[in-house]
Every structure is written in structure tokens, then in C-alpha cells.
Amino acid sequence: MRYGRNTVATVRAINAELEKIQQSINTMLDRDGTSPNQMEDLIDMNSNRIINLPQPISSSEPLRLQDLVDIENGTFVTRDTQELTAGQTEVVSLVNVDAATIHISDGVIDSRQLVKGVEYIVQDDNTFILDQTYPEGTYIIIEGGLVTNVDEDTSPYTLRTAPEVNAHRGFRDIGFENTLLSLSKSFSQGADSLECDCSISADGVWYLFHDATVDALTDGTGTFTSLDSSYIDTLQYTAASSTGYAPLRITRLDDFLLYAKQSRLYFYPEIKNRRSASDVTDLYNVIKDNKLLEQCTFQSFILTDLQILRNLDARVVLGWLVDSTDIAGNIQAARSAGINDLLYNKTTLIQNPTFTQQILDAGLGLMAWTINKKEEAISLYNQGCVRMICDRNINFDRRGL
């Protein structure tokens, strides 16, 4: 609206027009992806189509019609992309490699990049051996193979739930664990959700830190819960000394929660180092005050800590970390305590393949820790465990969903 010399322009009228402009800005999506807009409003395509979408290469990308092909037995033509490590020749894929076309590509994959064929020997349905090694960072692309292990009652356009790759301490193998740096970087490395350890200082400030003492990871010394925040804030990661990361400090929980809120990510805070049981309530209140209860699953090895949370809130999601072969006892204890998920040691699940179905049949969720090999991921996935905590991206992805 334009205001001329004959227009009655009150402050209220001008503000109303400015609010309309602000609303338009808030619902704008930048083409270059730099806008902080998080789809807070519906987009009306006015019967127009979205065109020129590339072939998806990750589970979070949109799927085109030609990527979803109904074929015999209700399975799909799919694509599996993996980054090779130095000297790697054996490749384990999620698709049937005997029916696939396999290519090599140098550098980052995108829809415009040319790929070249590669020589290989098929070992079994999901494994093949390359005839030579390739530089680290080379990508292997397996496409056109049938996705294996599909349930018989699966819909022609539905597969099992896609795997959830959870970044353990922010993919701790590729960065400074539990720091905002590693946690934020893990999404670009293929994480679907984040895991972090919550520890409290002597003066009641929450941080992201795993160890009971600061000695192994920092230039300081002492038990974490006995140290004041003024001291903790000065500690330097010893691995960062004399590097460009030297200014890196232990991340405060408040800083991470701000990032989680802005990014709308899902995270798993583990109750790690606390002074007393009352700290469990304090941690709950901190996350509640940040309006992030619906974006997280609290986890702990201590069942009584989780029971405190359940008594505080009937809706909060709780995960009990367990490493025991007493599956019946664990299920009963979890259900009695109002636990949502059992977070199980991977070795126990792999060695006892019936545990997965028993947990799922009991109406509990299941997540495995800590998976760092693709063959372990495939073994667990075939059992029905689709959520996995990992120290690094194992490139375990199911495309064509």
C-alpha cells in the first residue's frame, strides 16, 4: 500500500502493512537455501509441478516417480552410494549386487557427474571384491539391483522403515566428541539424529561431556561434577592443541539446545555425570524450558533416573541403555518403569538374534549401540533393528523408500 499526501496514514495502519511484509519474509524460501525458513507455512503449487529434481542419493532427499519402480515380488530398483576408504576392495551393499550395475566416481556425487565402470568379482548376494584399490574419497555406486530382505506382506510401494543413523557424541571418530562442532558437522556426514552426554558442574551448569574426569580429554584435571563452570570454561582439548581448533572449549548444554531448536533436529541426551538424583529433574527442566521435549529421547543406564523422568512427565520419551542377556527381565523392568525404548549393546543383539523380535513384540522401541561396521548394521537390520548409534557414518542407507 502506498501512502500519498491525501492518505490517512496512522501509525497503526503503517504497522499493519509492515506486519504483512514481515509475514511474507517469514514464509519465503530462498532458492540458494540460505534462508532460515523451516517450512512454517504451506506452499501452494497452484497445480504446477516441481521439475528438474536430481536422482536422490540420501534418504532425506525427495523421490521422483522414475526412482520408484514396482517390479516383481514388490521390490525396487534402487541405488547405494558408498565412500571408499584407502585400500578398500571388499564392498558390502544393501542391494543384490549380482543384478546391479556398479560404477566408480571421483569426488562428490551429484546428478551431473560422469561415472565410469569398474571390474569386480561377486562374492555373494550383497558382497563384491573390487579388482583394484582406489584413492580414499572415491565413491562406489551400486544401482539397478534389487533391495533384499523385503517383508512378504510389504506394499509394492513400501519397504521396511529406513535406518536411523544416530551420531554417537557427534560421530566421535571424526571430530572432537560432544562439541557443537562435531554435532553440527555430523549431519553433513550422514547422521539422522544426534547423541550427546550431559554432565553437570559443581555450581549447576550443564555441559556436553562423557568422561567422569576431565583428565583424558583436556589440559585440566579433576572429577567433572566437582569442578566449577569458571574452571571448566577455560579447559582446552589436548588433541586441539597447536591446531586451528585450539580455541575449542567444552560445549555448554544451553549452546547446543539453541542449535537444536534452530535446526529442529532430534537428539538423545544421556544423563551421564550428575551430583545427585535431583539433577535429573534439573536436566528435564532445562530441556523443557527450551521447548525441546518433543525433539528428544532421554537415555540412561540408570533405570531409577528414567523413573524420575517418567514421574515428572507421562509423555516424555525414555530410552534405557542395557547390556544384559536377561531379555525377559529387561523387558518386564522396562514396561514396569514406563520405558519407551531399549537401547541394547550390538554384540548382545547379534549373538542373540531372537532378542530383537521379543523386544518389538513387547511394544518397545529398539536401538543398538555402538555400530561401526557395515556388516554389523546389515545383520541388525535383517533382524529388524533399524535404529543404530554409530561413531562414524557407516553409509548404511536404504534408497527407494
CB atoms within 10 A of CB 307: 19
Pair 197, 178: CB distance under 8 Å? yes
pLDDT digits (tens, 9 = 90+) for 22-54: 776 666 665 555 555 555 566 677 767 777 776
Cell matching residue 316 = 516424555
pLDDT digits (tens, 9 = 90+) for 156-192: 333 335 678 999 999 988 789 999 999 998 887 888 8
Q: List the chain domain ranges.
A: 65-146, 164-390
- What is the reported pLDDT for 299? 98
Residue 185's SS3 state is: helix
Closest C-alpha among 223, 222, 147 to residue 398: 147
Question: What would the DSSP string read from start to end of 324-390?
Answer: -S-HHHHHHHHHHHT--EEEEEHHHHHHSTHHHHHHHHTT-EEEEE---SHHHHHHHHHHT--EEEE
Which helix (DSSP H) or strand (DSSP E) does residue 15 occupy? helix 11-26
Say if domain 164-390 classifies as CATH 3.20.20.190: yes
Residue 113's SS3 state is: coil
State phi, psi for 387 to the nearest 5 degrees: -115, 125
Please give the model's pTM, rounded to 2 decimal places. 0.63
pLDDT digits (tens, 9 = 90+) for 346-368: 999 999 999 999 999 898 999 99
| Mean pLDDT, residues 321-331 taken together | 96
Tell me the C-alpha distance between 122 and 96, whole Å.
10
**At residue 293, does pLDDT exceed 90?**
yes
Non-local (6+) Cβ contacts of 12 within 8 A are none
**Alpha-carbon dihedral sign for residues 259, 261, 262, 267:** positive
